[in-house]
Structure formats: C-alpha cells, structure tokens
Amino acid sequence: MLYDPGKGPRLSCTYINNLGTMAASNEIVSIDSLVSHSLSDSDLDEFNRIYYGRKDKHSLAIKTENIESADHNNFEIAAYDFPAQKEETRSPRIVRVGIIQNSIATPTNKPIREQKQGIFNKILKIINAAACEGVNIVCLQEAWSMPFVFCTREKTPWCEFAESATDGESVQFLKELAVKHGMVIISPILERDEAHGDTIWNTAVVINDCGKVIGKHRKNHIPRVGDFNESTYYFEGNTGHPVFQTKFGKIAINICYGRHHPLNWLMFGVNGAEIVFNPSATVSGLSEHLWGVEARNAAIANSYYTCAINRVGTEQYPNEFTSGDGKPAHKEFGHFYGSSYVTAPDGSRTPGLSRVKDGLLIAQLDLNLCRQIKDKWGFTMTQRLDLYANSLHKAVQPDYEQQIIRPN
Amino acid sequence: MLYDPGKGPRLSCTYINNLGTMAASNEIVSIDSLVSHSLSDSDLDEFNRIYYGRKDKHSLAIKTENIESADHNNFEIAAYDFPAQKEETRSPRIVRVGIIQNSIATPTNKPIREQKQGIFNKILKIINAAACEGVNIVCLQEAWSMPFVFCTREKTPWCEFAESATDGESVQFLKELAVKHGMVIISPILERDEAHGDTIWNTAVVINDCGKVIGKHRKNHIPRVGDFNESTYYFEGNTGHPVFQTKFGKIAINICYGRHHPLNWLMFGVNGAEIVFNPSATVSGLSEHLWGVEARNAAIANSYYTCAINRVGTEQYPNEFTSGDGKPAHKEFGHFYGSSYVTAPDGSRTPGLSRVKDGLLIAQLDLNLCRQIKDKWGFTMTQRLDLYANSLHKAVQPDYEQQIIRPN
C-alpha cells in the first residue's frame, strides 16, 4: 500500500499543548501539501523536478500494521527511496534510515521523570514501527527526551534533565531497543559529564546495533539568538568532527545550529561521512525559510546524504521569560515546525514531514550514490583545500589584512 | 505602476534559437509563476513566507517607459526592495543592483564580431533601462559577450572571443556606459592575458562609476562535468578572493561553478564583501534543482547579499560534439534556464526571472542589513575559524588520518 503524505487531506488539526489544554491550530501541514493539492499534474511534475530535484517522489510502501499504528498513536509515517546506478565492481549498499520528530508528551510542570517517561512511551512506538519497516539507523531530534527549556535561562529544575552519555536513562532505554532490533540509534541529549567537573554538554550519543555506545559528538557551534540562549548551559564542543563507522555506513552528526556553518558540514565530509544527521530544534518566525536550504546545500556541497530533523509542537514553561526582542515576558516558545526531510548527494530531496505532528520519515539510501556524485560533479577534486587552509590560517591572525581592492 | 512578474500571464512562448529558426518552447516560465497562479491568497501567503522568507515580495514600481522598452525589446524587467531596520548611528546605505540575463543574439556560425555586436546591441538597451531606474551596480552573466562554447572543446574559432581585461572590446563598450550612467559594471568575460604567455582565463572585470577598471577576479574553481569541460580552455584562478571597494559598497564575484564551493563564498565574506555576484551559465537537467539552494545558502551563511545570474536560451554550434554521457553526438547545448534571483543576508529572496527570456532584475538593498544580521544570528562570531584553519591544515597533508570512530 502506497502512502503519499503529499496527497493526504489538508488538516485543520488539533494538538495537545504542553499545559494539557486542547488548542485548535491554524498552522498549515506543509508547503508540500499546499502545492500538491493546487497544481495540475503537469505543473506539479515541473514543480517537483525544479524544487525537489525529481518528478517522482519515489515513495515506498508502508506496511498496513504500521499505518494503523501511526493513525492510532497520532504520528505520521512516510518512506522514500534514493536509488543509485548499478556498478560493475561494487554491490549496492542499501541502508534504511529513520528520522523521528516529536513533541513533548506532558506539561512542563510535571515531575521530570514523568515528563521523560511520557516521551519514552511515544518514542518506543515510533521506533518499533521503524524496526518493523526494516530501518537500520534511527536518529532522534536534538534534546529529544526533554522540553527545549534553554530560553528560560533557569538552571532549576531543567539541569536535572542532563544525564550520562554512557549509562543515563535515555541510553539505557535506547540500548535495549538497539539490541532488540539490531539497529544503530543516535540519541541527542543534554549530557552531564561527571568525570569533568559535572559539566553539561549538548551531545549526540551513538549506540551501535549491538547496543554498545561507540562514541559521542558534542555540538560545535552554540547559538545566542532570540530564545536560543544556549550558552547559558553549555560550551562549544570539544570532540572535533568524528565520523562513526557502523555496520550500515559511515555516519556523523551536525547538531542544530551547526547547520548554519558550512565549515562544520565540510569537516564531516573530509572525515569520510556518507550520511550526516542534523538533529535540531527551531521555530517558525525565526528560521523556517532557511530550513529547506542549509542541510540541502550541505548534501550538495559534500556529496553525502543529509537528514534534517526538527522538533514539533509548541511548548509552554511554568515561569515567564523574555526573548531579548523588547516584547513582553511570556511563557510560550514559538511553534517548532517539524518539516524533517532527507537530501541525497545529488541534491534531490524528500517532501518534509508535517509541520504540526509527530512523525517518522524513512529513507532508503544507496550509499554508492555518494562516490558516484563525487565522480560526476567533481566537487571534492576541485575544492582546492590547500588554498583555503592557507587562506584561513592567515585570516585568523589578529593583524589580518582583508584582500580589498581600492581604486587609486 | 507596479509590475509583478508572478502575476503575469503564463506564456507558451516562442524564441529564436541560435541557427535562426523559430522554435516553439514548452518550457515553463518559472515555478514562481506556476505557484502564484494556482494557490489561494492565504495559501500563497504561507508559501511565500516559508519559501521566499517573506509574505510580501516587496515589488518596486518600474517606470512606464522602461516597461514599454522591455516589451518592445523582448526582455523582462522586475524590481524588489530589501529594507533594513533604522539605526541611530548609521544612515541607511541604499544601493540598487541590476543583474542581467541574456541569450545570444545571432547564430553561432556568424562572424565573431557580428555575434558580439548583436549581444552588445541588446545589452545596451537593458543597461539603459537599468540606468533609467537608478541602478548603481550592474552585473552581467558569465562570458556574456559570447556563446558558451566550451562544450565543443574546439579552440578555433572560439578562442578569438577572448579579449584583454584592460582594453578589450567589451571593456571599451562598458566603460563608456559606466561613465555615462555613473554606474559600476561587472563584466565577466573570456580574458586573454597577453602579458603572461597569451593565457586565457575566465575573468570578471570590475569597472567603477568613473569608467576605470579597478581590478579583476579570475574563476577559482573550474568544472569538468558533462558539457562543462572548461578545463580545456583555462586554469583555476590566481587572484585569491578580492573584494572591490566601490562608491556603492564592497562587492565580490564568485564565478559560476564556484557557487558549489562553500569555502569560496566564505573567503569573500572573510574579506568583507557586502554583495557577492554569481555570474553563471548552467542548464536544465543538470543543476536546476540546485540553483535556488546554493547562492541562497551562501547569503545566509555569510550574512551578505548574493545575486545569482544565469544565462538563458538554447545554443547550437556548427559542429557536432559529445557530452561524455554515452549519448550520440549532437549540436545543441541544453536549455540555459535563466531564473536569476537575489537573496538578502536574512535568507529572504526575490522570485526568479523567467526561465526563457532575457531579463533585468533590480534589487534595492540596504547594506546595513548585513551587519544587523551578523549581530542577530551571530554566525561570524560563532564560526570558530581558528578551529577550521587548524583542521584544514591537517586535512591537506598527504598522510592525513580521518577522524573515524570504529567500535572495538
């Protein structure tokens, strides 16, 4: 059975906000659904060719039991294929990734363990559906097991969400699922590093298909924009640009705000990544027009797959806070607009998940496409890294003189 | 009088191909026009907000005489505004840029001087319209004064199009217009460097508002993809990443294929550019789904304006050539799809010019927006250039070991 979210009904949906009341939402589901419903078939072909990079969205079948589970548990599920050319000397290297966007499950004034457990419960159902569809690698959104509280600048009680990257509650929960399903799971959490002064970090933990934590990556670039005052809580990461060799390919994680930094994306490519996940949390009114551009550009520039994942829903906090924009204090964050999507090294992309609903996006990737696109476009061959290593070395000197041509 | 190309008629246009016959085109005008005609007003608002980064396209009035000139001479004209916030300590710094996309004017088997003069004639009319609209800086497309012949790999007669960056025919022609209109003109040409072994380069010449050539920039990254075998004719540029200080702001030029290289864009930003032009020549079926992504991402990542300019029309050459794709020899290049557009540092953008017609896109930019966006988003503050200078220095060593984490 084919499920095409682009042709689904345009919902005037309702969803549960975080203090437990039902709110009618007037958010549109996606621009994908807007356009799919409005254009004629031939115009839609042209739109899809120019915008998505392919006329056919290459939707994959979803099992009936998972469609029913998704309906019952109020999450979206969609799957797309990215095939590559056949080669003589290499077999196809097919991997299924699943990216998950989720709202929080309970009001933010509930006990921390209750909030966390509520999210675990909904993630469990989504990961089970992913496993049932044969997904090999799952990546969750940034700080998936908690509300995105950093706008409050309150240390209490929020720092209690931080947990060990080795044996915290989230890791324990996901290790079991990784073993059960033979699945790699990337878990972006708020990390508490007890061994180094109880420091807090924004960290993605990588659990392999045997349930072993094979490593972690800490967010390299920390925002100080609007409600994203995250430097109150943690510093710029100190783990470089690691690529994790898993059974299913070489993967890396560019956490959230790092998507604005082309050099961050570049170094994961230099280190050999074939898939780079971008677990994020970002809101409407701030970044939505950038969302379809940055992770997609990174896939193009670096000839790898990118998976952009954004939180969904609107969160409220118990105490009011200000946003550094002259407006009155308030308790509600803006709308996290979801819209998670996958881009291939050739620049073609999937439609986004819903702007208003939890979701699982499955993409079947032939990793051979990465090298095929490097051979075709030649971006790595022509990138002149030596030139830029020298230029940047000079540029960071305090007395650097910019190359400016002035008329005599 | 307001002219909104998005609401214009959807043309099943005809145009003259390069061997002089009339061909009916079934190319759509733009996805902008497709969507504008199909969505309801409220849906279009949402589409524009999410896709263009602003609900209102901020169209500017065009003078009646220029609308008539454009109709008469078969080019499109459109103008958009990018305002910035008022500041206490700086006045607004308003500049009008005009970017021009053009097809060739005569068949490619005509004498070289005749081909060139035909293009000069049409560019003259478009630059005059730009001047009449108060444009301060004009940028033409890559190798604007010639057909894009590099696919042929023939040296004769095409190398005769190359000319001096100091006093070639194109420079002479444009110097006069620069003085007459008090306008900066960027002229991307095939350069013949007589002083250095008669070498050929792909070069953008910058002529200031007094008609003086203040400098030039040579294309840093040369493609070897499909019909773009340009390495047959010229090498990677040796002019670094110059920024030109003009009366109207600090400008730079990232020529064509350099748009695929985030480091190229980055260095123009490091050197202080406020507007980066991307004169290009690229065809449908190869890059069209990348076109809206790359120059736009560069504007976002570097907090400057970018102006992406693409050639338009379909060109035929006298002798057949192959495209390195196993297909039969042929005489026709693919369709250059125009679609030139401007992006602001905040990521909002204009609609594109037509995919099938010559055009002039005028954008009124407040350059103060660059620093305002740096202050808001903090991308330069958080970019950690020192980290990447070190990482790239290591990465270019022949014995570099990638940072790969393998399970024990």
Give me the tens of pLDDT residue by residue for chain B, a chain 408 residues long: 333 433 333 333 333 333 332 333 579 999 999 999 999 999 999 999 999 999 999 999 999 999 999 999 999 999 999 999 999 999 999 999 999 999 999 999 999 999 999 999 999 999 999 999 999 999 999 999 999 999 999 999 999 999 999 999 999 999 999 999 999 999 999 999 999 999 999 999 999 999 999 999 999 999 999 999 899 999 999 999 999 999 999 999 999 999 999 999 999 999 999 999 999 999 999 999 999 999 999 999 999 999 999 999 999 999 999 999 999 999 999 999 999 999 999 999 999 999 999 999 999 999 999 999 999 999 999 999 999 999 999 999 999 999 999 987
Residue A26 lies in a domain: no
What's the sign of the alpha-carbon dihedral B247, B250, B255, B256? negative
Known active-site residue A332: no
State whether B245 and A405 contact (CB < 8 Å).
Answer: yes
Nearest-by-Cβ selection for A383 from B49, B261, B292:
B261
Residues A367 and A274 sit within 8 Å (Cβ to Cβ): yes
Both tokens assigned to B154: 């023939």
Residue B377 lies in a domain: yes
Residue B407 lies in a domain: no
Residue B399 lies in a domain: no
For residue A119, give the CATH number of its domain: 3.60.110.10
Known active-site residue A256: yes
Angle between helices A112-132 and A169-181 in degrees, nearest 10: 10
Q: Where are the beta strands (DSSP E) in A232-376?
A: 243-246, 249-253, 275-280, 305-310, 312-321, 330-337, 341-343, 358-366
- Low pLDDT (below 70) residues in chain A: 1-25
State whether A378 and B224 contact (CB < 8 Å).
Answer: yes
Known active-site residue B256: yes
State whether A34 and B28 contact (CB < 8 Å).
Answer: no
Residues A244 and A215 sit within 8 Å (Cβ to Cβ): yes
Catalytic pick from B27, B76, B133, B142?
B142
Residue B175 lies in a domain: yes
Q: What's the pLDDT tens digit per position in B201-210?
A: 999 999 999 9
A 10 A CB-CB count for A326 gives: 6
Q: How far is CA A14 from CA A17, A21, A29, A391, B194, in A?
A: 9, 10, 11, 53, 70
State whether B392 and A389 contact (CB < 8 Å).
Answer: yes
Nearest-by-CA chain A residue for B324: A376
Nearest-by-Cβ selection for A403 from B49, B224, B242:
B242
Residue A12 lies in a domain: no
Residue A45 lies in a domain: no
Min Cα distance B113 → chain A (Å) is: 31
Min Cα distance A358 → chain B (Å) is: 20
**Best mutation target, B216, B246, B377, B385, to test chain A (most A CBs within 10 A):** B377
State whether A293 and B296 contact (CB < 8 Å).
Answer: yes
Instruction: Indicate the residue type of B229.
Output: N
Number of domains comprising chain A: 1
Distance CA A56, CA A78 (A): 15
- Note down the domain range covering A363: 62-395
Residue B180 lies in a domain: yes
